[in-house]
Every structure is written in C-alpha cells, then in structure tokens.
Amino acid sequence: MFADEDGGGGYATVSASRRAARLQERPDYRALHTGKPIAQRRARATTVSDLPSDSTLDDVIGLLNIIVTQNNRLAERNEELTEQVARNEDEIRRLRSALEMSKETQAKMEERMGKIEKQLAALVELTRRNLSS
C-alpha cells in the first residue's frame, strides 16, 4: 500500500495536503494577467483543511452527472432533428415531384394552347376567305 492511501482504498489527508501544495506551486495566471506582483495576490478563501475530504470527488461526480444528463438531452434532440430532417427530405421530394408534374402539365397546356392558336388562325383565315368570296 502506498503512503498516501488509507486502508479503505481512498486517499488519506496526506494526499490532500500534497495536492494543495501542488496547487499553490502552480502559477496564478489570473494574477499574472492582471499584472499584480506575487506579493499582492490575495490568498485563497478556502484552504484544504476547510474542505471535506470527499468534496473534490463529489464535485467531479456532480459535474459528470450534469454532463451525462446534458448529453442525454442532446442525444434525444439529435434524434428529433434527424427525424425532422428525414421528414423534410420526404417533403422536398414530394414538392419536387409536384413541381415536375406541374412543369409537365404546363408543357402539355402550352402544347394544347399552340394547337388551339393554330386552329383559331386557320378558322380566322377560313372566315376571311368566306367573307371575301
């Protein structure tokens, strides 16, 4: 067994104090960004001794639960959107088919109108001949 583990398999307070020491050794990027010298950095409001030993693990578990819940919601929304996309694609195909039919119908109507115009022109010509004779 390692020195920083207790008999129950969890990490003892020795490990917590080591983690706290490592955290204090890290550069404080916020203070560096603001331009304050190290001496002017304010001390952390909470020390390791104030925290319950399980707080970090509980926080991580809580965040993971939130992530899982959000992931589930996003997966459901993704399924809904996938179904909507399929419905939209079907509707687009239906509308394109209707448009093609209307184009065919329009072409047929134009063809019929051309025939009728020719017939009318022939009738007008025949009427003129009959009137002039």
| pLDDT at residue 16 tops 70 | no
pLDDT of residue 70: 96
pLDDT of residue 2: 46
pTM of this structure: 0.39
In this prediction, residue 87 has a pLDDT band, given cuts at 50, 70 and 90, of: very high
pLDDT, residue 99, reads 87
Output the average pLDDT for the chain: 77
Helix (H, G, I), strand (E, B) or coil at 37: coil
- The first and second tokens of residue 14, run together, are 């020795």
Cα 4 to its chain centre, rounded Å, is 43
Are 53 and 16 in contact, with CB atoms under 8 Å apart?
A: yes
Question: How does residue 21 score in pLDDT terms, banded at 50, 70 and 90?
Answer: low
Mean pLDDT in residue range 37-44:
53
| Count helices and strands in the chain by DSSP H and E runs | 3, 0
Q: Domain-by-domain residue ranges, the chain?
A: 1-53, 54-133
Residue 5, pLDDT above cutoff 70 = no
